[in-house]
Amino acid sequence: RKAVSIPGLIALREKGEKITMLTAYDASFASLMDRCGVEILLIGDSLGMVCQGHDSTLPVTLQDVAYHTAAVARGNQKALVVADMPFGSYATPEAAFNNAVQLVQAGAQMVKLEGGTWLLPTIKFLTERAIPVCAHLGLTPQSVHQLGGYKVQGKTDASASLLKAEALAVQEAGATLLVLEAIPASLGKEVTDSLHIPTIGIGAGVDCSGQVLVMHDLLGVFPGRKARFVKNFMEGQTSIDAAVLAYVAAVKDKSFPALEHSF
């Protein structure tokens, strides 16, 4: 296949083909996912939980993400590599730029940041300086203490309106991808329909432009509590390749996420 690019993702969205994204943290799994046709590999700060055993993403450092990004980039050939900016690494536009450069130099083609209105100057600052940005709205795990736990977001009219406005604003500021996490499926659809950039849902319903899952959840190896939006794609499969291919097929044919995985 051709290398996945941002215009390529926008083209997929325009022709109505769903986009597949998975987290990856090492070269071997990156290579496998790339071979299976996954369009985007995310070095998520979920690595703090699934690789390091912490109970949140907050202890993850820039060096941790850079280390895993370099490994993923070595294993990957065609997928788009997106790296999470960890907690505390993008408090100001300048800090965000300096830190994002480290991730780009490690092999990231785009960086992901959690937040809305307060991040607009940072998104503008990075994208003007040639660092593509994926925004992340809804349940933003780095804000777990402020949110009071890992809870579905956008359930009230006021919070849904704010999220819709923030989605438009991050697009306007220059973001070219938007992750929507743990929001009602109806809101996921409304936001997706209002934007020209692709949305990638995790617990945001089937009408997002694409879907993302944490690799360990897809394989059923994460020992912690299972979120509603998680599906173990190893069930009924006899290899990891087959599980990843089943995920890709289910996202493409819109059978995942089903209602049971949505809010």
Which residues are designated catalytic? 181
Beta bridge pairs of residue 19: 210
84 part of the interface to ligand KIV, by CB under 6 A? yes
Closer to ligand KIV at the Cβ: 41 or 246? Answer: 41
* Pairing of β 80-84 and β 199-202: unpaired
Shortest Å, Cβ 45 to ligand KIV: 5
Shortest Å, Cβ 142 to ligand KIV: 9
DSSP 8-state class, residue 86: P
Closer to ligand KIV at the Cβ: 63 or 239? Answer: 63
Residue 30's binding partner out of Na ion, ligand KIV, none, with CB under 5 to 8 Å set by partner kind: none
Sequential DSSP letters for 138-199 = ES-GGGHHHHTSS-----SHHHHHHHHHHHHHHHHHT-SEEEEES--HHHHHHHHHH-SS-E
Residue 20's binding partner out of Na ion, ligand KIV, none, with CB under 5 to 8 Å set by partner kind: none
Contact 51, 85 (CB under 8 A): no
Q: Which secondary-structure segment (H or E) carries 70?
A: helix 62-75
Residues 147-206 contacting ligand KIV, CB under 6 A: 179, 202
Residue choice 12, 41, 43, 45 for contact with Na ion (CB under 5 A): 45
Closer to Na ion at the Cβ: 34 or 84? Answer: 84
Contact 151, 125 (CB under 8 A): no
Closer to Na ion at the Cβ: 39 or 45? Answer: 45
64 part of the interface to ligand KIV, by CB under 6 A? no
d(CA 137, CA 8): 23
Residue 62's binding partner out of ligand KIV, Na ion, none, with CB under 5 to 8 Å set by partner kind: none
d(CA 73, CA 55): 26
Q: Which residue's beta carbon is nearest to the bound ligand KIV?
A: 44
Shortest Å, Cβ 237 to ligand KIV: 22
At 191, list the tokens.
């936001």
Residue 120 CB coordination number (10 Å):
19
Count, residues in the chain: 263
30 part of the interface to ligand KIV, by CB under 6 A? no
Q: Which stretch binds ligand KIV (CB under 6 A): 42-50, 167-175, 188-196, 242-250?
A: 42-50
Task: Look up residue 9 and give its amino acid.
Answer: L
Residue choice 13, 18, 23, 102 for contact with ligand KIV (CB under 6 A): 23
Beta bridge pairs of residue 104: none
Beta bridge pairs of residue 181: 138, 202
Closer to ligand KIV at the Cβ: 233 or 239? Answer: 233
Residues 79-138 contacting Na ion, CB under 5 A: 84
Q: Which residues bind ligand KIV (CB under 6 A)?
A: 23, 42, 44-46, 84, 179, 202, 212, 214
Q: Which residues bind Na ion (CB under 5 A)?
A: 44-45, 84
